[in-house]
Each structure stands twice: as structure tokens, then as C-alpha cells.
Amino acid sequence: MNPGIRSIAAFTRGYFGFLEQQGVRSAVLHGGEDGFERKLSDVDLVVDSAGYKRIGHLTRKYCESSGWLLCQILQHETTASYLVCCDSSDPGQAVALDVCSDYQRNGTAFLTADQLLENRVRLTWGGFGLKPDTELMYRFAKSAAKGKDPKASHEEFSNYPESAKAGCAHWLADRFGISINDWTEEQVATSLAALQSRCRHRPPLSQPRSLKRVVSRMCQPTGMVVVTGAERFKSTAVELQPIFDGLFFRRYREVSSWHATLANDLLISTLIVVPHLPFPWRNLIPGSAQFHVSGSGSQDPISVALAARLAVRCARWHP
């Protein structure tokens, strides 16, 4: 087995154990039976509501005890956050912990944390998973919320026992008034479309929690501008892209010169590598969203120095 995969697997298993030690109930939302001994980029998990309120602090505490760094916290729902962690000496060894309490999408609550964690099942490596009918409810809701292909979803759902399908059907009828009986591909497609219609639109920004999340993102952009200088532009991009593109940041951009439209990319968590940052943008963009290679003051590889900078920023924003 690849040593890096083993390291990530051990870190992830330990995280669930740590949460339990801290009095936080948790469970893998799907999969996890293999103890994460595979190629791993992200893990979906649920924690109880009280634990979610402390999840940034707890995750950082666990990282510090493991020689890892908490580099990003991206809140994508009012009850869900995407936490990116990496080995402090090798940012290429990283995992994203996609943590929720209540499972919701665009303001539509599908399952509460208590419902998800009810009668959770102990896994062989010591953590917990969901009981089969609850896992199917979650996967059904997720498939609808993300508009997944009905045929592929039908194939996934067919692996669940009849008892789990019965429990999911009861939940759909009782909670949403959606009827599904024989679980044919046609019925699954119809039911997914009906459920998707419940969460098609984001809630208006006038709602306090939604407004708070947007304002927070504007005041604390989760993107980063890496300013390299002309001589180190290409070599820096070659080093950073395979490590940070797609996990630490939602997008990656490599541009030969700065232009005003890139400012919006910082709000949607983009890593932008550019030779120079002209005036007045050097003053307009928050210092926390700028990393100047020539002035980093670190003898470490640029990727290690950038990960450390992200961890410092994350700790300041989420103490």
C-alpha cells in the first residue's frame, strides 16, 4: 500500500476517535467500512449539533496533535463545512472533512443530526456508520439535491436491503408526501425529481444566517493570490497546481497578468498564481489573501510555506 494513503487513512480514523473522546457523536455518512484504506480525497460525516458549533476548534486541536494543519474551512451550508487538512511537512498528503450536523440543501432540511445519528452502527475499525435505512435516506436526499443521474442513483439504491428501502419510502411519504413503492428506475427518477424541486433555489439573502455566510465570505475571502515574480512564475505554478488544485481550493487559475475580474474569484475560493500584483490591487486585496513568494521568509518548499500560511489564516478566522 502507498505510504501516503496509509497516513491519510490513519489520520482520518483517528479523527473519528478524537471526536468521540471529546464527547462529540459522529458517523461516516456513507462508505468507510474499509477504514479509508484507499485513495482518499474527502470524507462525508455527520456530528451532533453541539459538536458542529466547535468543529473548527476541535479539528485544529486534532491536527496539532497529529503533526497536521487545518488549512481551510469553507462553509457551504449553514450546517455544513468543508475542512481541508494536510500533513505539515507534505501538503500533498491531504484530506477534506465534509462535516454537517443537519443535512440540508439551499435551506431545505432533509435530515436532522439526531435522525442521522440514531442507532448508528459500529464499524470494524472503531468508528461509526449510519444504519442502512438512514444511509439510504441520506443518499436519496443527496442524489436529489445534487441532481445526480437517476439511472446511476437507481443502481446505487438497488444494493440496499428491502428493509432499508421500506424505511426510506416511509420517510419520503411522511416527510415530503412522495410515494415510491417498487423502486423501479422510473419511480426512482420521478421521486428524485419531486424531491429536487424542494431545494432548487437558494434562500434569499435577507435570511440572517444566509446573509451572515455571504458577508463573512466577502470580508474573509477563502481564495489566495500567489505572487511569484516573473522568474519564478512557471516553476511555482508547476509546484502548486498538482497539490492545491481541486482540494484546498475550489478553483485554480494561472494568469500572466492581473485583471479586475479576478477579484471575484477570491470570493469563490480560487488559487490564483500571477507574476505581479499591480497597484492599487496590492492595497485593495486583504493581506490574508496574498502570498508573496519572494517575501515568504521561509526556506521550505513553496507548497509547505503556503500550507503553513493558510493554517495561520484559518486559525485567525476560526479560533
| Structural domain boundaries enclosing 269 | 220-317
CA–CA distance, 179 with 24 (Å, rounded to integer): 35
CA–CA distance, 170 with 188 (Å, rounded to integer): 14
Question: Under a CB-based contact definition with an 8 Å cutoff, are residues 94 and 247 in contact?
Answer: yes
Same domain, 130 and 49: yes
Question: Under a CB-based contact definition with an 8 Å cutoff, are residues 292 and 275 in contact?
Answer: no
Q: Determine which helix (DSSP H) or strand (DSSP E) holds 80, and give its type and residue range.
A: strand 80-87
113 domain residue, yes or no: yes
18 confidence band (pLDDT: 50, 70, 90): very high
Provide the 3-class DSSP secondary structure of residue 253: strand
CATH of the domain at 166: 3.30.460
212 domain residue, yes or no: no
Question: Under a CB-based contact definition with an 8 Å cutoff, are residues 17 and 58 in contact?
Answer: no
Same domain, 29 and 167: yes
Same domain, 140 and 32: yes
Q: Which of 319, 291, 286 is nearest to 307 (CA)?
A: 291
Q: What is the pLDDT of residues 80-132, one digit of tens each?
A: 999 999 999 999 999 999 999 999 988 889 999 999 999 999 999 999 999 99
Same domain, 40 and 182: yes
CA–CA distance, 88 with 15 (Å, rounded to integer): 16
The Cβ of residue 146 has, within 10 Å, a number of other Cβ atoms equal to: 11
306 confidence band (pLDDT: 50, 70, 90): very high
2 confidence band (pLDDT: 50, 70, 90): low
The rounded mean pLDDT for the chain is: 92
Count of structural domains within the chain: 2
Same domain, 250 and 308: yes
209 domain residue, yes or no: no
**Residue count (the chain):** 319
CA–CA distance, 244 with 181 (Å, rounded to integer): 45
* HSE (side-chain half, CA atoms, 13 Å) at 171: 21
Same domain, 310 and 163: no
User: Sign of the C-alpha dihedral, residues 65, 67, 73, 78?
Assistant: negative
Same domain, 91 and 157: yes
Q: What is the pLDDT of residues 220-246, one digit of tens each?
A: 899 999 999 999 999 999 999 999 998
Instruction: Write down the pLDDT at residue 174.
Output: 96
Q: How far are the Cα atoms of 36, 79, 134, 142, 160 from residue 247, in angstroms, in the given order?
A: 17, 20, 28, 20, 30
pLDDT at 1 over 70: no
Same domain, 16 and 162: yes
**Which residue among 149, 168, 199 closes a domain?**
199
